[in-house]
Structure 1
Amino acid sequence: MRVTIADVAREAGVSKTTVSRVINTKGEVDGSTAARVREVIAQLGYVPSSGAVGLARGNSRTVGMLVPSLAWPWMGEVLQGVVDTVEAAGYGLLLFTISRGAESVEHFIGRVSARAFDGLLVVEPENTMDKITELHRKGLPVVLIDDRGHHPEFPSVVTTNREGGASAARHLLAAGRTRPLVITGPLHFGCTRERTAGFRDHQPDAIVVTGDFTEALGRRAVEELIASGTAFDSVFAHNDISAAGALRALRAAGRSVPDDVAVVGFDDIPMAEHTEPPLTTVRQPTRRMGEMAARILLGHLGGVAAPAEPVVLPTELVVRASAP
């Protein structure tokens, strides 16, 4: 149930006009009264709707963006797409990460309560969707980028993860590779499930090892398979970092790439062109995803209804020397 300005006024024992003055920093309000109103706002989790704030004091002309970490290799491209779009529209950007866990979440919630931005772009950090959903229901416009958990209540921009996995499988199959190793991402990610399903649509007998998108686990998966004596002729890693770990393990074991084992990654981060050999990979349109999500959010802030269905941008197989 959405908390209203009337709820805040009633709990604080003041008029709605007083609450509005505190929220919008307009008009004289006694210091102790203002402090009590802010305390009640925090307790109730009141978030003014973007429309109400705009009417009261004008929009902040700022967009918020919440991401798990800037260390993710493709995050820079997503962020650049967002920045290019919001700046062209005369908006600023506030960036939040969850690098300090609960402390970061509380800082972010405080900035929402302070109305520091008009709407929010989200690359879903773990264990935050309950909070984001609550804020959205209280009036905060939200657009998801790469909806890894599938949340149909939010507008979102996604890519064709299943088709991306399928394209990798078809490419390897066309090259005669019929004993593939698949190194996945974390299983609770929607993209992991979709990439695996797409690959298995064409190569149902693939050996699947659960990974975590790290170089270390990509390397370890290949090392353990070689040590077990299991035959495999190709690797499909769910991101380029894991694929780089697989390349390292194959090189250390004396396996030739691509003669003995072909390797395909996912993402097409800048590093992919510079591995040894250069990496065949499934390209995500990461910059375009950032641009499109920002356009949807800015349009919504301007009164344009957000699309009811996810906006889907296609992946593309990029063929290089690791799997020609």
Structure 2
Amino acid sequence: MRVTIADVARAAGVSKTTVSRVLNTKADVDRSTASRVREVIAHLGYVPSSGAVGLARGSSRTVGMLVPSLTWSWMGEVLQGVVDTVEAAEYGLLLFTCNRGAESVRRFTTQVSARAFDGLVVVEPENTLGHLTAFHRSGLPIVLIDDRGHHPEFPSVATTNHEGAASAARHLHADGRTRPLVLTGPAHYGCVRERLDGFRSVLPDARVVRGDFTERGGERAMAGLLDAGIPFDSVFAHNDVTATGALRALHAAGRRVPDDVAVIGFDDIPMAAHTAPPLTTVRQPTRAMGETAARMLLAHLGGTPAPDEPVVLPTELVVRRSAP
């Protein structure tokens, strides 16, 4: 049977609070009492949990991470960046998703109230901004990995969506493509607006088709355009998953890539190098974004003020055979 702090308190004839103060080397416990408590601890073989000691000190040495879902194509790389950084600092990580909507948010809120973690890295799930704002104002340190649009109240890490999309447009323009098509993601994402603005800053006459960031959505949109006889010689998809669906529809229609249609994606997820043909894409530094957000949060927990402006990491155009 595991020895508890209550067992130590009972055997030493003191309160659990006193045992906790001895464990955390508080100076307000007299020497004889502290010595007796330590002797009981040694005799009973009590091993305090790091979480219990941390909470008594006002710190759990645990970081939380809140994300919409682990099924997002680039989420694994972001998460790995956070994990690597947090573990190197000898912190634990609690991961929360919003797969169950309001129920997930309620459970997460309970963990915040219980002070289960010291700070939070967030890829903002839908319908959580109000909760996050309230937590932040009440003193919970939060760093956003921001793809929905800049929220100046929070420290954040972002990437150069505008410039990344502009680099894709310049690449297509240099290849002589004059009838570009843009397959976007959902309009309420800040990254979608930035990518569309960036592409249009170079190729303002591009035809725009709203998408949903899914492979099936990219395939459906492309098939519909082909069936309608819409003329285009190039495609810029707002993520690699959409681009993969577009490639499938082009192949099914007998269009050659890149001879007939050049295709560029965004993100550079692992499968981008293995599509047919391999996908030219704008590489988003997803692991570095996770690492940077975690470092910012840990520094803040250590007393360093969070930066007032977003930390913006650069994108990079990766040229492969779909748009050489």
**TM-score, normalised via structure 2 length:** 0.83
Question: Over aligned residues, Cα RMSD in angstroms?
Answer: 1.5
Offset at residue 26 of structure 1 (A)? 4.1
Give the % identical residues. Answer: 76
Q: Aligned with 2:251: secondary structure? A: helix
Q: Aligned with 1:298: secondary structure? A: helix
Alpha-carbon distance in 2 for matches of 1:222, 1:211: 10
Alpha-carbon distance in 1 for matches of 2:254, 2:229: 14
Alpha-carbon distance in 1 for matches of 2:214, 2:131: 28
* Structure label with greater radius of gyration: 2
Q: Is the 8 A contact 1:83 1:93 kept in 2?
A: yes
**1:228-243 correspondence to structure 2 within 5 Å:** 228-243=228-243
1:311 aligned residue: 311
**1:196-235 correspondence to structure 2 within 5 Å:** 196-235=196-235
Indicate yes or no: 2:296 matched with 1:285.
no
Offset at residue 27 of structure 1 (A)? 7.0
Cα 1:235–1:171 change in 2 (3 A) is same
Offset at residue 57 of structure 1 (A)? 2.5
1:258 aligned residue: 258
2:96 alignment partner AA: F
1:148 aligned residue: 148
| Residues 224-250 of structure 1 deviation map (CA, whole Å, 9 limit, x = unaligned) | 111111110000000000000000000
2:88 aligned residue: 88
Indicate yes or no: 2:138 matched with 1:138.
yes
Offset at residue 147 of structure 1 (A)? 4.0
| Residues 162-185 of structure 1 deviation map (CA, whole Å, 9 limit, x = unaligned) | 001101100000001111110001
Alpha-carbon distance in 1 for matches of 2:304, 2:137: 18
**TM-score, normalised via structure 1 length:** 0.83
Offset at residue 217 of structure 1 (A)? 1.1
**1:155-170 correspondence to structure 2 within 5 Å:** 155-170=155-170
| Residues 238-263 of structure 1 deviation map (CA, whole Å, 9 limit, x = unaligned) | 00000000000000000000000000
Q: Aligned with 2:226: secondary structure? A: helix
May I ask how many residue pairs the two structures share in their alignment? Answer: 276
Alpha-carbon distance in 2 for matches of 1:84, 1:138: 28
Structure 2 gaps, min length 5: 1-15, 20-52
Alpha-carbon distance in 1 for matches of 2:147, 2:70: 17
1:70 aligned residue: 70
| Runs (4+) off by over 3 Å | 25-28, 53-56
Offset at residue 222 of structure 1 (A)? 1.0
Q: Is the 8 A contact 1:147 1:157 kept in 2?
A: no
| Residues 185-211 of structure 1 deviation map (CA, whole Å, 9 limit, x = unaligned) | 110000000000000001111110111
Q: Aligned with 1:116: secondary structure? A: coil
